Structure 1
Amino acid sequence: MLPTTRGLILAFAGVLIITPDTLLVRLMQIDTWPLLFYRGLGMAAGVGVYTLLRGRKSLGKRLRALGLIGIATAVCFSTANMLFVNAVMRTSVANTLAIISTAPIWGALLSAVVLRERLPLRTWLAVVLAALCVVVIVSGDLGGAGSHLTGDIVALTQSVFMSLGFVLIRSRPDVEMVPCMVLSGCITATVSFFSAGSLAVMPQDVGLLLVLCLVVLPCSFLCLLNAPRYIPAPEVNMILLLEMILAPILVWAAVGETVSRTTLAGGVGLFAVLLIHSLLAMHANGKKRGHAVRVGEASVTTTE
């Protein structure tokens, strides 16, 4: 199988597997903190097993090798996970996914601040346009009894923490960062354990919870983590945009959750901005000479 074909399969598989995530959250009658406890536990277990199967070093040695940057990355991903669930609980699925899909744009902006990278003009334009689209989405939730403004703000904060996590990973290309997701899951589970009044789950939710925590989350994460080993990151980001379309449709079909006009308008604009930015980035990368760089177990392509 050609590397490009493998990368595309992994990216599309990751998106298709993660798409039911928000629907499963909607369907389960479970409080936020117990849900986060099981999500963290499932992620830690799933990625932990994968890590053990991938190499000879023990999981403990790999965790110790993360260093302070790895710990900070785990904290960022854990925070993003907790914010994601809280966002879904407080605003619509369409709003949540549209806003958090801006993560690659904020990631580029954070790279300029943290890694001192020089951003091309297209990225600065994308930052401005994406921010305007988010304002349009949020404007529909201002005031009124049914306002979801809090959830929108939580979703935006989630995208920033997720972006920061990936920027920190890029800051240490010599360290295998996959185990930081095990640590992230453990942090989420620990915080949730002490925050939850009860971890009880209704019998009808057990099956859905197992599918979410042991299949959807770890499998989608591993697919999306490995996809950039074979295809450029902008191409993976472009494929990830499918979730912004598929998940709200799935939730609408299952539970009848509709999309407001402002969310639709802002989401369409945001989709266009992110798609064009990814296409331009792919075109620019194709013109430059690339060389492989090891990032832990994964290999990504950089340009010079």
Structure 2
Amino acid sequence: MKLTHTKAVFVMVAVTMMWSIAGVVTRHLEQARSFEVTFWRSFFTVLSLLVLLPLFRGREVFARIRQGQWPLWLSGLCWSVMFTAFMVALTLTSVANTLVTMALGPLLTALIAWMALGHRIPARTWAAIVLAGAGIAHMYGAQIEAGRFAGTLVALCVPVAGGINWTITQRAHAQGQGVDLVPAVLIGAVISSVLTLPLAVPFEASAHDIGLLAVLGLVQLAIPCTLAVLCARVLKAPEISLLALLEVIFGILLAWLGAGEVPRTSVLTGGALVISALVMNELIGWRQRA
């Protein structure tokens, strides 16, 4: 599939809309809870990718997975942490808390790459890190007072694992070992399914729940992850980062309109600081490179 720049932008917007349905769908589950939610979504992601991967990459993709070197498997492990932490966080805290915390990904990635690879962090990114940190501190402070801190800490595992994942793939690329991200997603879904299965038993999900989680596995994870990799071949990194922020906006709106989950004032204030910091950082960087 070849995309023009304009088509890639529209596809990436559609990707963020698909990513954003996790919160509202989770709020309509009847009986499935915590690790069972994670297991079923990861399980259906595995089934979906087993069909999608040969269509997009041919059957030889499975041979490449078997022959994959350590960066591919470490990337898969990072994906498994992201899948598991995201769904568990949604069962412990609000959709808005989870998505705003996940939005820290680009800034945490910059910090991890600075510590692990020695990448220089521009002054604009340091300023964005400070501003986003203030927003998260405001959000976290209100949650500590309300006694709802655990879910946001779990959500923080997602951008941390994402930053480590990016650092691993960049280091592998520098050493001539490219990491194919979509097969890494499949490996992550398999690991997540295997690790959460013992914690999911005994199963309590109704047929209604399993149907919704199957939709998440296919529509919210397998399809958009595959399309995002295609978009990344056409769009530049700042464009991807800015468009990906739409997931936060779409996700909060869908949970608000579709599940009646009104975001708290502290989350909106802290989230506005985080989003402003990310937009400022990417736009200034884009302008300087231009």
Measure, in 2, the Cα distance between the counterparts of 1:141 and 1:87: 14
| Greater displacement, 40-49 / 89-98 | 40-49
Name the residue aligned to 2:165.
165
1:267 is aligned with what amino acid?
Answer: G
Mapping of residues 80-99 of structure 1, within 5 Å: 80-99=82-101
- Could you list the per-position Cα deviations for residues 211-242 of structure 1 after superposition, in whole angstroms to 9, with x for gaps in the alignment? 11122211121222222211111111111111
Measure, in 2, the Cα distance between the counterparts of 1:224 and 1:126: 25
Structure 1's unaligned 5+ residue stretches are 287-304
Q: Which has the higher contact order (CA 8 A, sep 6+)?
A: 2
Give 1:74 deviation, angstroms: 0.9
Name the SS of the counterpart of 2:268 in structure 1.
helix
Name the SS of the counterpart of 1:199 in structure 2.
coil
1:169 is aligned with what amino acid?
Answer: T
Mapping of residues 189-208 of structure 1, within 5 Å: 189-208=193-212
* Structure (1/2) with the larger helix percentage: 2
Give 1:191 deviation, angstroms: 0.7
Choose which of 36, 39, 44 in structure 1 pairs with 2:38. Answer: 36
Kept after mapping to 2: 8 A contact 1:6/1:230: no
Structure 2's unaligned 5+ residue stretches are none
Give 1:103 deviation, angstroms: 0.3
Please give the root-mean-square deviation of Cα atoms over the aligned residues, in Å.
Answer: 1.8
Kept after mapping to 2: 8 A contact 1:13/1:223: no
Choose which of 278, 284, 287 in structure 2 pairs with 1:274. Answer: 278
Name the residue aligned to 2:148.
148
| Greater displacement, 204-213 / 152-161 | 204-213
Measure, in 2, the Cα distance between the counterparts of 1:106 and 1:55: 31
- When the two structures are superposed, what TM-score results if normalisation uses the length of structure 1? 0.87
Name the residue aligned to 1:259.
263
Name the SS of the counterpart of 1:178 in structure 2.
helix
Identity in percent = 25
1:170 is aligned with what amino acid?
Answer: Q
| Greater displacement, 170-179 / 52-61 | 52-61
2:16 is aligned with what amino acid?
Answer: V
2:261 is aligned with what amino acid?
Answer: E
Name the residue aligned to 1:105.
107
Measure, in 1, the Cα distance between the counterparts of 2:148 and 2:260: 17
Name the residue aligned to 2:186.
182
Measure, in 2, the Cα distance between the counterparts of 1:101 and 1:48: 29
Measure, in 2, the Cα distance between the counterparts of 1:180 and 1:279: 30
Quick one: structure 1 residues 31 and 272, their matched pair in 2 at CA, closer, same or farther if it must change by over 3 Å?
same
Kept after mapping to 2: 8 A contact 1:235/1:279: no
Measure, in 2, the Cα distance between the counterparts of 1:177 and 1:128: 30
